[in-house]
Amino acid sequence: MYSLLFRTLFRRMDPEKAHHLAFAWIRLAARVPVLRTFLAAFLAPRRKELRVEALGRRMHGPFGLAAGFDKNAVAVDGLTMLGFDHVEIGTVTAHPQPGNPKKRLFRLVPDRALINRMGFNNEGSAAVAERLAAREAVFKATVGVNIGKTKIVPEEEAIGDYVTSTERLAEHADYLVVNVSSPNTPGLRNLQAVDHLRPLLTAVREAADRTVTGRRVPLLVKIAPDLADEDVDAVADLAVELGLDGIIATNTTIARDGLGLTSDPALVAETGGLSGAPVKDRSLQVLRRLYARVGDRVTLIGVGGVTTAEDAWRRILAGATLVQGYSAFVYEGPLWARTVHRGLAERLRASPYATLAEAVGAETRTAEDGAHPDHPEGPDRPEKRSTAA
């Protein structure tokens, strides 16, 4: 049904207009009590075996929606209704901004990918904080808040910009993400360098602790797949050093060569971040490298090219406690989360692992100790902290 709708309607529309139309339908459905209850029962059935505990939260499952879809926190309940176990809003900046000029979103349909140069278009952290404060939750949801740098703010003033957003949003966040990896804000990726990242994360941590005194707001950083391996290692070491709660791997890529893209070369040549299936291999490589470096000391979230339940399962085996997707939502439609959950449950039952917690990082660990991935009882297996609820 959705594939027909995509071919006959959405594919013929400007991608950003199609996004707004679909988003409006989701928000409308979530406002109708009987309809949202029915949809949630069908699209978001709870599977006990998929329950996880991460970032101080108990969640119905590991699969969430990545930042970028709901930039202004206007449809958390609607997206939860569709079956996402956590919803990451944003990216939100301290000042409202319109983003880059249109046209700025492109579908690479043969590659099941997107290119975007949205440029953090959002209403600003004050407006988003006000909306989150006024939200009357219909469904229990874990809400992550992804913050970035305002485009007009110079790089040397970036810390203050992030701190402003933190002070406004931390109390409304189940976890907070520092985004330094979008390619669409000039100079932003420079902040991934450890010398810049250390004072930034330290300042955000202090601001969150100062603003929210009754609990610890988990703090994560989102990195790019384009980092060199030694830079991935440096970020991993910094996360451990600072006691960071998590790392999200990865954002979109600026790479085009070597990805086997088959779409119209004119589309492929568009500037911006590439997401979707072509990013899968590199994102998985980064995730494995991070887990080999940090083990269970830092929670990892795998994102980038996640389309199927097999993709999500591979992220878990590679070291991700949580998994996110976004681009495939455009192509798979409203049944996507349900399908991924069902497939994950099937894979867990067929595996040698009793819980998802046991599966997290199993492939990476066994690759290091020489055991086969389906038989995780290799030598020197590290202790695994429980993530099962």
Q: Which residues are annotated as a binding site for FMN?
A: 67-71, 91, 146, 179, 222, 250, 276, 305, 326-327
User: What is the spatial distance between Cα 192 and Cα 210, in angstroms, rounded to a whole number?
Assistant: 24
Active site residues: 182
Neighbours of 28 (CB within 10 A): 13
Q: What is the pLDDT of residue 380?
A: 39
User: What is the spatial distance between Cα 299 and Cα 244, in angstroms, rounded to a whole number?
Assistant: 9
Residue with the bigger pLDDT between 266 and 376: it is 266
**What is the rounded average pLDDT of the residues 122-143?**
96
User: What is the spatial distance between Cα 338 and Cα 155, in angstroms, rounded to a whole number?
Assistant: 42
**What is the rounded average pLDDT of the residues 192-204?**
95
Q: What is the pLDDT of residue 2?
A: 81
**What is the rounded average pLDDT of the residues 4-24?**
89
Q: How far is CA 85 from CA 28, 130, 381, in A?
A: 20, 23, 29
323 pairs with which residues across the strands? 63, 302
- Domain tally, the chain: 1
Q: What is the pLDDT of residues 99-116, one digit of tens each?
A: 999 999 999 999 999 999
Q: What is the pLDDT of residue 231?
A: 95
Q: Which residues are annotated as a binding site for substrate?
A: 71, 116-120, 179, 184, 251-252
Is 117 inside a domain boundary?
yes
Is 274 inside a domain boundary?
yes
Domain that residue 113 falls in: 2-369
Q: What is the pLDDT of residues 360-374, one digit of tens each?
A: 999 988 777 664 444
If pLDDT is split at 50, 70 and 90, which confidence band does 387 have? very low
Is 357 inside a domain boundary?
yes
Q: What is the pTM of this model?
A: 0.92
Host H or E run for residue 147: strand 142-147
Strand order in the sheet with 273-276: 105-108, 113-116, 273-276
Is 375 inside a domain boundary?
no
Q: Which residues are annotated as a binding site?
A: 67-71, 91, 116-120, 146, 179, 184, 222, 250-252, 276, 305, 326-327
Mean pLDDT of the chain: 93
Q: What is the pLDDT of residue 357?
A: 95
If pLDDT is split at 50, 70 and 90, which confidence band does 298 have? very high
Percentage of residues in the chain having pLDDT higher than 90: 88
Q: What is the DSSP code (8-state) at residue 277? A: G
If pLDDT is split at 50, 70 and 90, which confidence band does 257 have? very high
pLDDT tops 70 at residue 389: no
Q: What is the pLDDT of residues 149-184, one digit of tens each?
A: 999 999 999 999 999 999 999 999 999 999 999 998
User: What is the spatial distance between Cα 1 and Cα 116, in angstroms, rounded to a whole number?
Assistant: 27
**What is the rounded average pLDDT of the residues 350-357?**
97
**CATH value at residue 180:** 3.20.20.70
Residue pair 50/61 in contact by the 8 Å Cβ criterion: yes
Q: What is the DSSP code (8-state) at residue 35? A: H
Enter the tokens of residue 361.
């990082």
pLDDT tops 70 at residue 378: no
Residue whose tokens read 């609990």: 215
DSSP of 271-292, one letter per residue? -SEEEEGGGHHHHHHHHHHHHH
User: What is the spatial distance between Cα 9 and Cα 38, in angstroms, rounded to a whole number?
Assistant: 25
- Give just the sign of the alpha carbon dihedral 367, 370, 371, 377: negative
Q: What is the pLDDT of residue 376?
A: 41
Is 14 inside a domain boundary?
yes
**What is the rounded average pLDDT of the residues 249-266?**
96
Is 380 inside a domain boundary?
no
Residue pair 304/255 in contact by the 8 Å Cβ criterion: no
Residue 247: alpha-carbon gap to chain centroid: 10
Q: What is the pLDDT of residue 370?
A: 61
User: What is the spatial distance between Cα 274 and Cα 256, in angstroms, rounded to a whole number?
Assistant: 8
pLDDT tops 90 at residue 93: yes
If pLDDT is split at 50, 70 and 90, which confidence band does 192 have? very high
Q: What is the pLDDT of residues 225-237, one digit of tens each?
A: 999 999 999 999 9
Residue pair 220/298 in contact by the 8 Å Cβ criterion: no
Is 139 inside a domain boundary?
yes
Is 98 inside a domain boundary?
yes
